[in-house]
Structure 1
Amino acid sequence: MKLMVNKRNTSTYLSLGFAVVIAIYISIKVATKQTFWLDERLADLFAYVPDIFNPFFLLLAELGDKKGIGFVALIVLGWLLLKRNLLGAAAIALSVALGNEVNKLLKELIARPRPELDHLAHVDSLSFPSGHAMVGFIFYYFIAYLVLDDLKSSKARITVIMLTVLLLLLIGSSRIILQVHYPTDVIGGFAFGYIWVLASIYIYNFFKKKLKK
């Protein structure tokens, strides 16, 4: 059991370190007005998605927006309150709210303009990092973490993980397909979101242990 815990901690630290490197690397390049070959390659790849799917991706984008997250949050917070997990409800709400403010601060500091394309969705802020990617990652990752905490079946756990990963990838992809973000905006958003949600979960578990004593 200790070996399994140590392996899990090691993989978490490695993935966190990787996310920090990615977040810093992309932020520096964007802030210094450097270009990414990845932006062109991935944008060209997503350009092959037929326009007929745009309504679907607009709907997906809503799940990473304030209204979509607010709607899902009401359901999740209701579920947590029924379980009497007040700490979990507070942790998600605070993590998402503060994460959103950090995202706004990063946008202002780095000040990357939106892609010079016809935006297929309404945007009124700067480009890097993607708020949908960052805040969506924080929100849905934290929900998945709390759900997994209640599951014993390995098949159920794998299903939750796969659905969460798929949802996040689709939300991130929607921002590129709708031509409102560069791919590196989304990658950077995921990296910052992962860093933030891991810190939030650490704080949540810290207080959870304190309350049990």
Structure 2
Amino acid sequence: MTEKSQHSIPFIIALISLLAFSFVAFIVSANKVVQFDSMVISFIQGFENSALTLVMKFFTFIGDTNSVIVLTLLVIFFLYLVLKHRIELILFIVSIVGSALLNQLLKYSFQRARPDLHRLIEIDNYSFPSGHAMNAFTVYTITSFLLWWHIPTRAGRTILIIISVLMILAIGISRIYLGVHYPSDIIAGYFASGCWLGIVIWIFQRYQERRSRRRSYQRWTS
């Protein structure tokens, strides 16, 4: 695979995610997803017990805005003081802040009420798309993207991806289990975040490529 084709992957992911989100948003707006949501909710909540509820509350706490802020500050500290990569730091901040703003914009655009079937916790505001799903997908995906290049072994990279995927899924499932989100909210949140990250990573890679070319040209002409 050429370098040019590699740089086009984030853009393709963004486009696919946009189309997927648009499809989910359409069937949600047209009330074509009620049976799917009910079936998945019934299945997941069928495992309810006191121990599992504590676990799910823990994961939903991790995906909460306050927890994401703490995790974001820790990653910023690591990138700036340990890796000393200021450009990646900007990418990280833009990804997190942009995702949060996009989530609020989409929530108030669709104004979908939360499920009111069997809630184990209470929460306000709108449901679609899930802010926890977008938070989790954005934080763990962009962190994995930035740390990938600094992990020398394949085993280390594999562990990084596995942990990230498990955290993203666990946080999303916890919201369904606790009765505060429809499954379609979670899926839409993943796709919305995937679209946003695809765009910012694509822009970041193009900027890096152009900066590398300028440096090469300056060395060649000096």
TM-score between the two structures when normalised by the length of structure 2: 0.86
**Larger CA deviation: 197-206 vs 173-182:** 197-206
Instruction: Name stretches of at least 5 consecutive residues in structure 1 with no aligned partner.
Output: none
Shift of 1:134: 1.2
Q: Which residue does the alignment assign to 1:176?
A: 176
Q: Which residue does the alignment assign to 1:200?
A: 200
**In 2, are the aligned partners of 1:30 and 1:110 still within 8 Å (CA)?**
no
Q: Which residue does the alignment assign to 1:54?
A: 53
Structure 2 counterparts to residues 1-213 of structure 1, below 5 A? 2=2, 6=5, 15-52=13-50, 53-82=52-81, 83-212=83-212, 213=215
Deviation per residue, 1:11-58 (Å, 9 max, x gap): 656654442232011111222333343212211210122322112111
**Larger CA deviation: 112-121 vs 100-109:** 112-121
What is the aligned length? 211
**In 2, are the aligned partners of 1:117 and 1:179 still within 8 Å (CA)?**
yes
The amino acid of 1:42's aligned partner reads: V
**Which structure 1 residue ranges, 4+ long, deviate > 6 Å from structure 2?**
none
**Larger CA deviation: 13-22 vs 142-151:** 13-22
Deviation per residue, 1:79-138 (Å, 9 max, x gap): 001121112222211221121111111111111110012432342210100011012211
The separation in 2 between residues aligned to 1:163 and 1:68, in whole angstroms, is 17
Instruction: Name stretches of at least 5 consecutive residues in structure 2 with no aligned partner.
Output: 216-222
Percent identity, aligned pairs only, is 25
Shift of 1:204: 2.4
Tell me: higher relative CO, structure 1 or 2? Use CA pairs within 8 A at least 6 residues apart: 2
The separation in 2 between residues aligned to 1:48 and 1:15, in whole angstroms, is 34
The separation in 1 between residues aligned to 2:118 and 2:34, in whole angstroms, is 20
Q: Calculate the aligned-residue CA RMSD, in Å.
A: 2.2
